[in-house]
Structure 1
Amino acid sequence: MATGGEFGAGTMAISSRDQPIGSTAKMTGMPPAALVSIVVLLVVLAIDVWVYADAKERLRRGNPVSVSLGSIRVETPEAWFLGCLILWIVFFPLYLTATRRNPFGHSSG
């Protein structure tokens, strides 16, 4: 009978957290693709907040940003924010065009 328990005399148990997962496994943090996705999401959210603040300021000055697309009318800061949040690729360029800030538009001078 062994006196050292189930591991036998002279052996020591090593917990799984003390051992590497694999001989080449390294903990380097998040993968680059995940970091890029997070950065893009944060940039889009920051732009959405800017659109809301700008639209609110223009409304306060009496110059609201308003666009009609058929029966759809976007004119409140909240509508601009939600539009940019849900469908940024459409509403952000539309907002820039409505405020005459479109960098891709033709200049008249």
Structure 2
Amino acid sequence: MDAGWEAAAMGSPGVELVPIFIALLLAASSLWVYQDDSRRVRQGRGVYFSVGSLELSTPGVWAACCLVLWVLAMPLYLTCRKAG
């Protein structure tokens, strides 16, 4: 059996760690958002976003949105944070 074929059949080393890395990245960035917005709320400068009936105004809501919809919520948080 060809050694190259065996390596391909077994998968690349570390590929099974990718989902774990992504989960850790999501958790860490959501925790940072929670801590950052909590600090800003205590200073009276909380991050706020509203469109229609959707309102993101508390650290918990921001963190939950970042955890579930990171691709949309994290850039939105950073943009609103900068504007505030």
Match of 2:68 in 1: 86
Give matches, 1:1-109, under 5 Å. 32-100=14-82
Deviation (angstroms), 1:32: 2.1
Structure 2 residue runs without a partner (length 5+): 1-5, 7-12
User: Which whole-Å CA distance do the structure 1 matches of 2:61 and 2:18 have between them?
Assistant: 28
Higher helix share: 2
User: Which whole-Å CA distance do the structure 2 matches of 1:51 and 1:34 have between them?
Assistant: 27
User: Which whole-Å CA distance do the structure 1 matches of 2:71 and 2:51 have between them?
Assistant: 16
TM-score by length of 2: 0.78
Identity %: 40
**RMSD value, Cα:** 1.9
Structure 1 residue identity aligned to 2:46: P
Structure 2 residue identity aligned to 1:95: Y
TM-score by length of 1: 0.61
Kindly provide the CA deviation profile for residues 24-66 of structure 1, in whole angstroms up to 9, marking residues without a partner as x.
8xxxxxx522211211210111000000000000000001100
Higher relative contact order (CA 8 A, sep 6+): 2
SS at match of 2:82: coil
Show structure 1 runs of 4+ deviating over 6 A. Answer: none
Kindly provide the CA deviation profile for residues 48-105 of structure 1, in whole angstroms up to 9, marking residues without a partner as x.
000000000000000110000211110000000111111111110100000118xxxx
SS at match of 1:100: helix
